[in-house]
Structure 1
Amino acid sequence: MRVYRTAPTRAFTTFSNALLRDATISWCAVGLLAYLVSLPNGAKASIRKLSDQRKEGRDRIGAALRELEEARYLRRLTRRDRMGQLRTEYEVFDTPYDPEASHPGPAAAPAAGPAAAPVPETAGNPASGDPDHGAPGPLPPGEKTGVKEPPSPAARLLTSLGRSDPRLALGEGEAERLRTLVEEWWAVGASDALIREALTSGLPARVHAPAALVADRLRRKKPAPRPTAPVRPECGVCGAPVPEGASCTRCAPATPAVAGFVAAALRGGASVRQVLRRRR
């Protein structure tokens, strides 16, 4: 491969090769980070605005933002403005920041220039992949800022699909809405491996709506309940199998005729055994 480069004199951003070659994040996340780092201080970004500028949908943009947050290229901050409304802001870093430090260290400090300030998220929540619905309102009394309920096991299974195949990247909100379909599979005895196989095999080259595809496959491919073995009638006293509607001959009270037949059968059996022993 031969690479031709130009020498820009204005409106350019410098990146470290380590950022562009970080294999822990997807190509989509790398491209999104490069764009966010190139923005000027105080720029406003939302999932809707970012998805409108490129062909990736809101789900892919939300998944890429979560990747950057997990890799410590992006940090979410929740602040209350002068009107008492909560605002979610993102600090963007061109190298992973130190989570133990009270503020970014020299190695992880924002680069001077266009990417030095946080990128405010004024509509929606990129970390959850939710659509833009305007700025959130004041918190109810007693609710803590930034505290989220842990995802359900079914939601964790669905969000993990995007790590193995970016085409199935789902937001936390989408996964929670689909968790009942996964629980229906578990109820009929399906394993996690069977669910993953049903959702990831034979995917089209491009998936435009991952949540809709996952929901359709979960409904359409759900296996039938496992057949239960027929219950064999048993004697309530000794547990011996008995025919349907009959009683146990050993435990039920025997009539004189039945008792005589049983006694004769036992005597006959004893006689046969005695003859066989003599022949030996």
Structure 2
Amino acid sequence: MKQLVSIIIPCYNDGQYIEQSVNSALAQIYSNIEVIVVDDGSNAVTKDVLKKIEPTITKLITQSNQGQSTARNVGIRAANGEYILVLDSDDFFEPTFCSKAIAVFLNKKEVKIVTCQANLLLENGSKVVYTPKGGTISNFMISNSALGTSMFKKKDWKVCGGYDENMRKGFEDWEFFIRLLKNGGEAEVIEEPLYNYRKKNNSTTVKANQIKYELLQYIYVKHIELYKENCESLIRHFLRKIEGEEIEKLKNLNRIEYKIGFNILRPFRFIKRKFKIIKIKYAASHFNYCL
């Protein structure tokens, strides 16, 4: 018998998109699935949509708003599947993701996470394809190298302690993957855009990036022993990053647009300097007069 895949969909005020998200889960060609939606304290509009689609899903769990990490953990605890797929309520999968992800798990015992390329759906109607890096813990120490909506085994979720429920501002999926891989294993990337991600201007990811240094500090301190053990590789990474930024800065300085702008503004800078000198001389003479 096929392994059961539990698709967990936390939902908070996504009445506009949740039906498409659920339908993409139900449309998987991999037949042995269950779909669990966790209503994380949504508004009345979203609750009406959830009530309409409830008969089509396996389970609807309702709770007060406690954040995405808690909602994911609640859904996973209620899951019966050996494999877990977390799906954001405003995004959707292509029908073949589950079947291709399960095939990876069955063929590669070292894999703990299966992710894929993603179509980034921009608000202007265009889209671009994003490819995560995947790999081992060394990649995940630098940045999140898998989509937050990836597949993993429930037993691995349990061993590493689930999602950190203190992380309500973002990056919780990255931190979870660090713990999932820190004792071995790797993330495999399916080289097809099987996931569709709405890149909204007010998304959780955008908000998280606005406070990313606060979130990075939390992750680094929480896993300080891991980062200490890999100090040398981290130093090399950060030095390469600084070098790249300096090279880019030099390129900008040498671009013709910069040179043109510099020359155009030169007379104004000259006048500004002269005016500053006059002000200094005036202030000095006024000071002498007062004496």
Report the TM-score range of the alignment, normalised by the length of the smaller protein.
under 0.3
More helix by share: 2
TM-score normalised by structure 1 residue count? 0.20
More strand by share: 2
Choose 1 or 2 for highest CA Rg.
1
User: Relative contact order, CA 8 A, sep 6+: which one is greater?
Assistant: 2
